Amino acid sequence: MVSQKRALVCGAGGFIGSHMVKKLKAQGFWVRGVDLKAPEFGETKADDFVMSDLRDPVVCAKVTDQPFDEVYQFAADMGGAGFVFTGENDAAIMHNSAMINLNILEAGRHARIRRIFYSSSACIYPEYNQMDPDNPNCSEDSAYPAAPDSDYGWEKLFSERLYMAYARNYGMDVHIARYHNIFGEEGTWTGGREKSPAALSRKVAETPDGGEIEIWGDGKQTRSFLYISECLEATQRLIRSDVMGPLNIGSEEMVTINRLAEMIMEIAGKKVGIRHIPGPLGVRGRRSDNRLIREKLGWAPSQPLREGLKVTYAWIAEQVKAAGGAGR
Ligand code: NAD
């Protein structure tokens, strides 16, 4: 009899982590999830859900007390531009996320955990390569000389190096992705930590036809967005490969924020005006460069942005309606 595979998901109460738990369960894994909080939208599917703080080394030792075939490290102090780019949360972001990574790696080393995935971010890329909204450079080898535009990005870069050092010195089987704006249903959609696809979907859903929504900046900044199921597929291809990375996991379909808002209006079947207001922005342009992941893993997104947006908008419109807003 083949024994059941086991996975540990750190950050299992979060957006990507809770989706990954579902996917692993559907694949027949026994799953332990760890997080400070339970998933916000629906019960966890994990067999064992440990509600604990991964900044604590004792917790990290406890949750790694048995062999795992795959460990996914998604836990981080995380947020949209409203949380990450104001400067007000920098110390907490750096302290909390670095502590989690330091502790889980050390515990994992003692527990002889081998295969571990780390979720880094496009935010590690230097600001100087992302000033032109039409031609951002986010190829993996452009990360150095380092100049991320946020302390969130600096912590991710530090932790990438930490994981690579554990691979080099302790033989851990490390796999690192740099995620570019992952979005989808059952993600934060209100409260200040939501990212632009969710924030704009909420604003459009809340606004009656002919009304007006606000967008930070001139809306000409560009980004690319990857739907959650594509992200999970790429992540598993990476952890199950012999590639350490870091590899970009994102979409090459670049849109301005104004265009993203229009796409959402088209999906909603509404026309609302856009008012541009000052707000935290981040870099002018950013897009995933998928050349390396195509070459190494043969992966590329299977669907255009619009398909994921349709599902996400429908889900957010339901949330808005349930909260007493306009809904559609
Ligand atoms: P998320 O905020 O939904 O999930 C992170 C989870 O970590 C949260 O549930 C949070 O409670 C948990 N956490 C934070 N501190 C903890 C602690 N001390 N102990 C235990 N749990 C703790 O974020 P997400 O969107 O699911 O992102 C997952 C990972 O991917 C993060 O590391 C993030 O930085 C990275 N990433 C995400 C994106 C994206 O677009 N979503 C882009 C780049 C990188």
Q: For ligand 1, say whether the CB of 179 is within 6 Å of any of its atoms.
A: yes
Q: Is 125 a catalytic residue?
A: no
User: What is residue 84's predicted lDDT score, i.e. its pLDDT?
Assistant: 76
What's the whole-model pTM score? 0.96
Beta carbon of 11 within 6 Å of any ligand 1 atom: yes
Q: Please tell me the predicted confidence (pLDDT) of residue 193.
A: 79
Taking only the tens place, the pLDDT of each residue in 104-131 is 999 999 999 989 999 999 999 999 998 8
How do residues 53-106 score in pLDDT, each as one tens digit?
999 999 999 999 999 999 999 999 876 566 777 888 999 999 999 999 999 999
Mean pLDDT over 175-188 rounds to: 96
Q: What confidence score (pLDDT) does residue 134 get?
A: 85
pLDDT, tens digit, 9 for 90 and up, residues 123-175: 999 999 988 888 889 999 999 999 999 999 999 999 999 999 999 999 999 99
Q: Is the CB of 207 under 6 A from ligand 1?
A: no
Contact 251, 300 (CB under 8 A): no
Q: Answer whether CATH 3.40.50.300 is correct for domain 186-224+255-283+304-322.
A: no
Domain residue extents for the chain: 6-182+225-249, 186-224+255-283+304-322
Mutational test site, ligand 1, from 10, 16, 71, max ligand atoms within 8 Å of CB: 16
CATH number of 6-182+225-249: 3.40.50.720
Q: What is the 3-state secondary structure (H, E, C) of the chain?
A: CCCCCEEEEECCCCHHHHHHHHHHHHCCCEEEEEECCCCCCCCCCCCEEEECCCCCHHHHHHHCCCCCCEEEECCCCCCCHHHHCCCCCHHHHHHHHHHHHHHHHHHHHHCCCCEEEEEEEHHHCCHHHCCCCCCCCCCHHHCCCCCCCCHHHHHHHHHHHHHHHHHHHHCCEEEEEEECCEECCCCCCCCCCCCHHHHHHHHHHHCCCCCEEEEECCCCCEEECEEHHHHHHHHHHHHCCCCCCCEEECCCCEEEHHHHHHHHHHHHCCCCEEEEECCCCCCCECCCCCHHHHHHHCCCCCCCHHHHHHHHHHHHHHHHHHCCCCCC
Could you identify the atom of ligand 1 that is nearest to the CA of residue 152? 34
- Model pLDDT for residues 278-309, shown as the tens digit of each residue: 887 778 888 999 999 999 999 999 999 999 99
